[in-house]
Amino acid sequence: MTPENEAAARYFSAITAALSGLEVFMRDDRSPLYRHGIVAKIVAEYIARLDKSFSCWRNRLGFMDTFRISRAESGFPVFQNLLELENDRRQADARLANIPLAGELREEMADFILRHKEFPEALQKSMAERLYLEDVKSENTFGPFTLAQTAKVSVNPKTGRPYYLVHWATFDGSANLPLVYMVTVEDSSDAMIRQLVDRNGKLNETVDIPLPVDGLLNPELAHRFDDFTEKNSAYTLSPATIAVNLDKDFEPLHPKQLRRVVLGPFYSVGITDNNSTVTEVLAKVRKPENAWLLTWTIQEVYSKSEKPGRKGLFSSEKTTQEFFINTDDLEAARQGVSSYENHALIPHEAYQALYAAGEAQKIFAGYKVHILSNGQVISDV
């Protein structure tokens, strides 16, 4: 195995372990994030998509020589890898038609080894390509952009409006970071109120809503909403800016809360060089597969009040939200959020190394630390 392949194998092992640990954390009812309930569940689904993408990329290395990651910044793959994954998905059936079935390839490989007493590299590459293409055909990878889904529908008893929890995701091509978005939005469309709200001001139980629903639940706005999210999901846009844009662009929609989960950066010894102190200490971890650190940030902006609209003969104003930005916290103000949480997930052995080096307190200042140990996540350390 070449040094490049060894480095790639270490990277894939580390990121797979990190994502698996993060998914355990998100689905664990004892975790601090589980109090958000459906939020943790939604994020876990996108983590599973990321894990699937890494599984595909690992198979792809069996027949392709290069795989680029953002070593000095996010620690995640560069955007080009996601575009190639999407392109390969579209071409998968056509390419698979030109590759023998897996059973046939195994027989050819066994026969080659018996006759030539050496490893059949060309056949191995064909097998890796077949496994990759069969895997990548799935729609369950993390793409450059994942269209919105409505995950929850209810009624606000104060306003009498139905509201939706809608989520979508994107992989930011500039920052090379996976981003997950969730918005709680009220809908004042007359048609949706008539359909979804009963005479008691509660959700109309006679309406069958097979959740999750692809797109925004309001069919008249669904396509426009998809266009909006695709154009307003960049990492450079603050959550407050996105929420204000949504409030401004859709007269019947009233965003009450917007969350963004930023996955990363990811640190892996010998692979990434995005933090010299972390890299130096992680290099002392005995098992390379445990020498990693994954961070993520949860950002939130919410409406503190609603300014009623007015309609007149010559001019009118739509109802607008007044979003709360915590100016008492300089970092919250910089991020354009009401609140934020920084989290870090690290294997037990790596945390011990940081602690023993006296670096844990400095590195994790401002972070909620979660330790992965024996397949379980320990928080509040």
Whether residue 2 has pLDDT greater than 60: no
Q: Which residues in 298-313 are b (16+ Cβ under 10 Å) and which e?
A: bbbbbbeeeeeeeeee
Query: What does the pLDDT read at residue 266?
Result: 94
Please give the Cα distance from 205 to 131 (Å, whole number).
45
Q: What type of residue is 217?
A: L
Which positions ≥6 away from 110 have C-beta within 8 Å?
none
The single-letter DSSP state of residue 320 is E
Query: Over pLDDT 70: what percentage of the chain?
Result: 94
Tell me the average pLDDT of the chain.
90
pTM given for the model: 0.92
pLDDT digits (tens, 9 = 90+) for 15-67: 999 999 998 888 776 665 656 678 888 999 999 999 999 999 988 888 887 78
Query: What does the pLDDT read at residue 1?
Result: 44
